[in-house]
Structure 1
Amino acid sequence: MDFNIIRVARIVMNVTDLNASRDFYVNALGFIETESDGQHIYLRGLEEHCHHCLVLKKADQPGVHSIGYKVWHQEDLEKIERLFKERNLFTQWEEAGKQRALGRVLKATDPSGMPLEFFSKMETVERCLQKYDLYKGARIQRIDHVNCMVPDVEKAVAFYTDELGFRCSEYTATEDDRTWAAWLHRKPSVHDIAFMNGEGPRLHHVGFWLSDPMSLIHSCDVLASMGYADCIERGPGRHGLSNAFFLYIRDPDGNRLELYNGDYLTCDPDFEPVKWDINDPRRQTFWGHKAPDSWFEEATEFIQQESGLPVGQSKAVLAQQKPDFVT
């Protein structure tokens, strides 16, 4: 691999009401609002020095415009472009300044149909890690990962590991040893992106890192006190897979977020992926309780970079849509 993708770094997604979204993301969850205009809100976590990790874009209906990855060098962008072109996949250049705070951007579409962006330069801003007077709500620290529903997980995993240099930390297998889901990383943690079997491609959730498990509990109290209790979909709990504490919530437009803390290092070259049986109840929640059906059925559609229309979806290759166990 002659290029270096560092990490997942930003998401651009639609919201229908900027003021309602600001109340949820800034006042309830504690994101830092770097800036805004009549069509966008640019958000970051308390420890982030990049201009933003999340762009909320005003639109008539929900949708995800792109998953953005930061690369090490400008030259890496040309190398990634060559790879995508060799695989007959869509690419398009966007010059510096076209999107707020970003340098030159390579837009691309992966084999599952998901819109991606690669960049090496983003404007920097003041880190707020030790501005404890600004800590409120969930006290969001940084973007951690994305999880996507795709119709063919094995195809997606092969492209990201063989072509883009991602490594697998953990995966879920069916009874006939097919890969039902996989967690892939570039940074030395459990994942930057996960793929799960389902109709897609669709964005299942964006995960944000919190400083400690009690921050998840505090988030529930804040959400409930502000009238957002119905936004809590699942948790808090501990995953078996990844070992992390989690809380899944839905924003006012139904976009799913995971508040996340407590996974582990994966940087050793001899680290072996952890295999989970899809029907092991400890896999999704170490304490054994099931996720709601909405967690396996509902997700946000992607938007084509070429046309602005929704990305077409396909049915999942594997028939099993969720774990089959009784608690």
Structure 2
Amino acid sequence: MPIPAPVLYPPFNIVRLSHVELVVTDLAKSRAFYVDTLGLQVTDETPDTIWLRAMEERGHHCIVLREGETAVARDLGFKVFSEEDLDKAAHFFKSRDLPVEWVERPWQSRTFRTRDPHGIPLEFYARMDRLPPIHQKYELYRGVKPLRIDHFNCFSPNVDESVAFYNEIGFRVTEYTEDEETGRLWAAWTHRKGGVHDLAFTNGRGPRLHHTAFWVPTPLNIIDLLDLMATTGWVSNIERGPGRHGISNAFFLYIRDPDNHRIEIYCSDYQTVDPDLEPIKWDLKDPQRQTLWGAPAPRSWFEEGSLFEGTDIVEPSLAAQPIVAP
């Protein structure tokens, strides 16, 4: 399936990804991972919930940790340009026979929940409470020094269908992996904010959340995090990397939180703001696709992910396989 032409005037205007809620089974242990080790900042806290932001973010939260019996991912949050865009977004999803539920969210203006055609839970809002800037309060920087949430990656049972749907609401493809035998998409990277991606899709059993990524200042911050994790009891939570992706050119590290939610630490990708920027094509069997240096990813990276709450999982319609580390 060819990459669809970008929709430059979508039915409503999404600014960027915003936040994600993760259900965790031990809030204290998750706090030790996300706050004490990664260095995210606590903005509010209750006995069963922690709200966090990264160092450059002015919005109240980019990740919500909520304690529960079973570790799952809940809504992927997106910010729209205005209250008018929020109403247009609700109308769009209703017109596609997708659910629209208006909900109360602390520190957010009017918010509705919905799902995409494959069942990924989504949340849209226009305004979030602003907090004072802390990006120059260097005494607060610790861990990997996360600056901002960067993107989500989701397993999709049909990447062509996922790209077609999100293209309709203004997500533009920057890079993609094509299976040469079938001509179908195996993976695609799509953006709203002008980086390589806000939302990517990887072929696999899904929908499931593959990972949430945070942008950091330099590759050296990733090396510092590895040293910290290796000497504070987190060495077994290091899954893949460090390395440099062929796709996106970003320097990366994949780690797992105490409940196996996957987190990517990420920096050094490129700007994609031009509306006529042509997407970059990669062959599924190109060893430099996954890692510019040629190292393949482990099997866990292709098979494991976080379940979305209340979403049925289906097998992928494309059987093509990438190169997998032995």
TM-score range, shorter chain: over 0.9
The whole-number CA distance in structure 1 between the counterparts of 2:133 and 2:299 is 39
Aligned residue type for 1:44: R
- Name which of 297, 317, 327 aligns with 2:303: 297
Q: Please name the residue that 2:3 is paired with.
A: none
What aligned pairs does 1:258-273 form with structure 2 within 5 A after superposition? 258-273=264-279
Match of 2:42 among 10, 33, 40: 33
Partners of 1:30 and 1:326 lie apart in 2 by 31
Matched, 1:86 2:95: yes
Give the corresponding residue for 2:178: 173
Which residue of 2 is the match for residue 242 of structure 1? 248
Provide, for residues 259-294 of structure 1, a one-character-per-residue CA deviation record: whole Å limited to 9, x for no partner.
Answer: 000000111122100000011010000001111100
Amino acid at match of 1:123: D
Instruction: Return the offset for 1:145.
Output: 0.2
Distance 1:122 1:135 in 2: 23
**1:41-120 matched pairs, under 5 angstroms:** 41-94=50-103, 98-120=104-126
Give the counterpart letter for 2:36 in structure 1. Answer: N
After TM superposition, give the deviation of residue 78 of structure 1 in Å.
1.0
Looking at structure 2, the residues matched to 325 and 212 of structure 1 have their Cα atoms a distance apart, in angstroms, of: 28
- For the structure 1 residues 42 and 326, does the alpha-carbon distance in structure 2 shift closer, same or farther, using more than 3 Å as the test? closer
Question: 1:266 is matched by which residue type in structure 2?
Answer: T
CA apart distance, 1:2: 3.8
Alignment partner of 1:313 is 2:313:
yes
Aligned residues: 316
Deviation at residue 326 of structure 1 after TM alignment: 8.0
Paired AA for residue 59 in structure 1 = G
Structure 2 CA distance, aligned partners of 1:244 and 1:117?
A: 27
SS at match of 1:47: coil
How do 1:250-261 residues align onto structure 2 when only pairs under 5 Å count?
Answer: 250-261=256-267
TM-score (ref. length: structure 1): 0.95
Partner amino acid, structure 2, of 1:313: I
Note closer, same or farther for the CA distance 1:40–1:325 as it changes in structure 2 (3 Å cut).
closer
Partner letter of residue 323 of structure 2?
D
Q: Percent identity?
A: 48
Q: Look up the match of 1:323.
A: 322
The match for 2:148 is 142
Corresponding residue number in structure 2 for 1:6: 15
1:17 to 26, 41, 55: 26
Task: Give TM-score, length-normalised by structure 2.
Answer: 0.95
Q: Structure 1 regions of 5+ residues with no counterpart?
A: 304-309
SS of 2:86's equivalent?
helix
Out of 277, 282, 285, the residue aligned to residue 276 of structure 1 is 282
Letter in 2 for 1:323: P
Amino acid at match of 1:290: P
C-alpha contact 1:65 1:115 (8 A) present in aligned 2: yes
- 1:205 to partner: Cα distance: 0.2
Specify every segment of 5 or more residues in structure 2 that has no aligned partner in the other structure, as ranges: 1-9
CA contact (8 A) 1:281 1:325 kept: no
CA RMSD between the two structures: 1.1
Q: CA deviation at 1:171?
A: 0.3
Contact 1:202–1:301 at 8 Å: present in 2 too?
A: yes
Contact 1:255/1:299 (8 A) holds in 2: yes
- Per the TM alignment, residue 197 of structure 1 is displaced from its structure 2 partner at its CA by 0.4
- The residue type paired with residue 58 of structure 2 is H
| Matches of 1:33 and 1:226, distance apart in 2 | 21
Q: Which runs of structure 1 show a deviation greater than 3 angstroms over 4 or more consecutive aligned residues?
A: 324-327
